[in-house]
Amino acid sequence: MAPEDPINLFTNALGLLARDGESHAAEADGLLRRALQLAPVGELAEKIKAQQRQHAARVMRANVKGEPRRDAVTYLRSALEAYQALDLNGQKQLLAEVAAIAQKGLAINDPQQTLHLRLYRGGRTVSALQAACILYAGVQLLLPREDAGIDLGREYEMARGMVGGAMRTRSDSMPQSRRAVELPKTVPASAGMGMRARVTRGGNSLLIKSRRGLNSPSLYDPI
């Protein structure tokens, strides 16, 4: 096969990560990105994105030697307080906004990447990791059976304890199938709650009901 064959690139990246993930991380990341450019859709693309997400999570944990991320705890606490201050519709809209932005990719290990969230605390510029925490907190509150695409469980439980333990939303008593997240018309349906979401129109909103959760591996880049 040609050197630029995406299967070759993906296989070589896996070999580098298996041999010594830390020392070859940058090279493997480059191969994965190039492979994804050559094969942006399909089964191979999903495998590449899954590997990118797993690598990003490993790097995030390696940076603190496997301990809970204290910065993530702070971000999650702030996110929970922000959601708590909103009514149910406001919570849904905030979750929809951060999910739409995250769909474009979050370099959670790059503190230089910043994003603007219009609906977060009156409008704030946040880091990619903070955006991931806002997404994670929203998923836990509104769609607790869905996969946010990143494991921040330890940090979330610590943050939740800081804001008074269990938080409830007015959707808690609703069946899971009815907890649709409403996206304003200004948010494209394709940028909603996951690449495999089923979209139906209702009134002035788009209702996103995920078939396979929020776990779109491309949400988290391993930079």
Per-residue DSSP letters for 9-41?
A: HHHHHHHHHHHHTTTTHHHHHHHHHHHHHH--S
Q: For residue 127, tell me if it sits in a domain.
A: yes
Predicted confidence (pLDDT) at residue 7 exceeds the cutoff of 80: yes
Residues 167, 74: one domain? yes
Classify residue 17: in a domain, yes or no: yes
Burial class (CB in 10 A: 0-12, 13-18, 19+), 118: exposed
Instruction: Print the domain residue range for 119.
Output: 70-174+216-221
* Together in a domain, 78 and 58: no
- Amino acid at position 34, single letter: R
Assess if residue 12 is contained within a domain. Answer: yes
Q: Are residues 58 and 74 in the same domain?
A: no
Inter-CA distances, 157 with 22, 57, 161, 167, 213, Å: 29, 18, 6, 11, 21
Q: Judge if 50 and 106 occupy the same domain.
A: no
pLDDT at 199 over 90: no
Distance of alpha carbon 189 from alpha carbon 107, whole angstroms: 23
Identify whether residues 74 and 26 lie together within a single domain.
Answer: no
Cα(154)–Cα(186) distance, integer angstroms = 34
State which of 62, 80, 104 marks the end of a domain.
62
Where residue 204 falls (left for φ over 0; alpha for ψ -120 to 50; beta otherwise) is alpha
Question: What's the structural domain count of the chain?
Answer: 2
In a domain, 202, yes or no: no
Whether residue 203 lies inside any domain: the answer is: no
47 and 129 part of one domain: no
- The answer to whether residue 181 is domain-embedded is no
pLDDT digits (tens, 9 = 90+) for 104-116: 888 888 888 899 9
Pairing relation of β-strands 197-202 and 205-210?
Answer: antiparallel
Mean pLDDT of the chain: 75
The answer as to whether 103 is a domain residue is yes
Reported pTM: 0.67
Do 34 and 80 fall within a single domain?
Answer: no
Q: Do 87 and 169 sit in the same domain of this protein?
A: yes
Locus of tokens 């942006």: 40
Is residue 198 in a domain?
Answer: no
Q: Do both 37 and 98 map to the same domain?
A: no
What whole-number percentage of the chain has pLDDT above 90?
39
The string of pLDDT tens digits covering residues 19-64 is 765 677 778 888 988 998 899 989 998 898 888 877 777 777 776 6
Do 55 and 78 belong to one domain? no
